[in-house]
Chains A and B, each alone.
Chain A
């Protein structure tokens, strides 16, 4: 036994309950590292989809165009007249839709200007069967179901249609949104399973150290005193496990990003991760440690409450 000459050099052991040697520690650490890995990759996906969605809706979806195909009749006058009737029907309808701020049909002059590059000057569009256009301005951040809008529009006038790029985009957005919700459910599941694992490990550890805990109780320790030791240990293990998980997750996220770049460009590049997203991913080991600590703490308190 080493000689300690000065009692003030003594360091009291912080772990009165020998949690350090629990066999469940390894189980916990591996479980947390896998959880943090899954969580961070999924979270990266959610954040990427989010940035993609906000890029799209901000830049492209602020406005849209409704196109009225010309009626093709032998009588030109009549054709134009009928086309305008369809345009007015569409216009009347658009004005009633929630989320649409303004719907303005382009007049002849504007149409002519649009067509000038192709048709040159001096051509009277009245003579030509060209489509009419309605410029639709959306209320900022309006939640519009473009699929439903397109269907309604077609019912009102078979000649009217939403421009197809937007329709396609809105389908993509719907898909991305669904994917995002799925990922959020996955995040929730990972979190619940980890919490379950921590509760299980804590309870078995409580059983293992029943003796020491009862000694601490009889010496006058409150439940919180005991719960703190469990929380500290579990938090430490979870932080280590979290570091391992994140160490695997970061290269994985990069690999997935590389792979997705190979998919048709333009769309996926919108899905970049901001520094804010990265810092929330990198803070996951800390986050997992805090969640683990709180879970262990509450588990110990709840379990001890059933004893005398």
Chain B
């Protein structure tokens, strides 16, 4: 990693001429060009249905572009084999808009999943998961089956699961949509802290409040394309 700090900043995600369509429908996203530098923090905005989730799903490698090239950690996803995609995914934490927790498992087991998949030693897994869940204030519900949790509680389990492995890339889709105004800033601070430790972060959100609370650049989806807005000087420019 340190080698890449030389003449150019390492890119965590690169997109060139990327288009996405579902089935035989029209393109949802067209000619996307994007480069996310290591350690950057971006908000992702756009109207409902603009394609935020679709864009993120290419980043967390659950979807290949219909056209163009997507590089994640310098790997072209069109050519990577299945096992190496799996290894790349281990470096990515994802908070889904619809949580995607495993309902019949406990909050604890869900949050432990990424570490167990990596094959981490059980004792350490337990210690880390416990601390994480306490931090998102789920100490009481740790061993409850996820299907019995409230929306906000599920969201916190989802966030705990996304950050538990201290990923290099964190992608969060509306991560504070279901929590109250007391815990939302706390969760946002978690992402900020993680970013300070080197994690590249992208957060899709509709909340103007959150965006204005932090001075991070904003990727906005408009007319199937991405525009980047910088917070202070409000300079509008094309994607990098």
* Chain A residues packing against B (C-beta within 8 Å): 1-2, 4, 7-8, 10, 12-13, 16, 18, 211-212, 214-223, 225, 304-305, 308
Contact = CB atoms under 8 A, between A and B. Distances in A.
B117 A219 contact: yes
A222 B82 contact: yes
Contacts of B114: 219-220
A225 B62 contact: no
A223 B112 contact: no
B144 A308 contact: no
Contact of B118 (A212, A218, A220, A308): A220
Contacts of B109: 12-13, 16
A35 B20 CA distance: 48
Given A13-B105, A220-B87, A225 B130 contact: no
A213 B220 CA distance: 31
Nearest to B105: A13
Nearest to B126: A7
Given A215-B100, A308-B62, A221 B117 contact: yes
B143 A214 contact: no
A222 B127 contact: no
Contacts of A2: 143
Given A10-B143, A12-B116, A219-B113, 14 more contacts: A1-B144, A7-B127, A8-B126, A13-B105, A13-B109, A16-B109, A214-B100, A217-B62, A219-B117, A220-B89, A220-B92, A220-B118, A222-B82, A305-B82
A222 B105 CA distance: 20
Interface of B: 60-64, 82-83, 85-87, 89-90, 92, 94, 100-102, 104-105, 108-109, 112-114, 116-118, 122-123, 126-127, 130, 141-144, 161
A4 B143 contact: yes
A12 B122 contact: yes
Given A8-B123, A16-B113, A218 B82 contact: no
Most chain B CB within a 10 A radius of its CB, from A12, A16, A219, A222 = A219
The 9 closest A-B pairs by CB, nearest first: A220-B90, A220-B89, A222-B86, A7-B126, A221-B117, A219-B114, A7-B130, A18-B104, A215-B100
A218 B63 contact: no
B62 A214 contact: yes
B117 A218 contact: no
Nearest to B145: A1
A222 B83 contact: yes
B62 to A, nearest CB: 6
A16 B105 CA distance: 7
Nearest to B106: A13
Contacts of A18: 104
- State the majority secondary structure of interface residues on B: helix
B64 A308 contact: yes
Contacts of B112: 12
Contacts of A16: 102, 105, 109, 113
A233 to B, nearest CB: 14
A223 B130 CA distance: 28
A212 B146 CA distance: 13
B62 A211 contact: no
A6 B113 CA distance: 20
Nearest to B125: A12
Nearest to A308: B64
Contact of A220 (B108, B117, B143): B117
Nearest to A220: B90
Contacts of B83: 222-223
A215 B101 CA distance: 8
B89 A218 contact: yes
A281 B90 CA distance: 46
A211 B122 contact: no
A215 B104 CA distance: 13
A223 B82 contact: yes
Contacts of A304: 82
Contacts of B104: 18
Contact of B100 (A211, A223, A308): A211
A212 B109 CA distance: 13
9 contacts: A7-B127, A7-B130, A10-B108, A16-B105, A211-B100, A220-B86, A223-B86, A308-B62, A308-B64
Nearest to A216: B117
Nearest to B129: A7
A10 B117 contact: no
Contacts of A7: 126-127, 130
Nearest to B63: A308
A2 B143 CA distance: 8
Most chain A CB within a 10 A radius of its CB, from B87, B113, B122 = B113
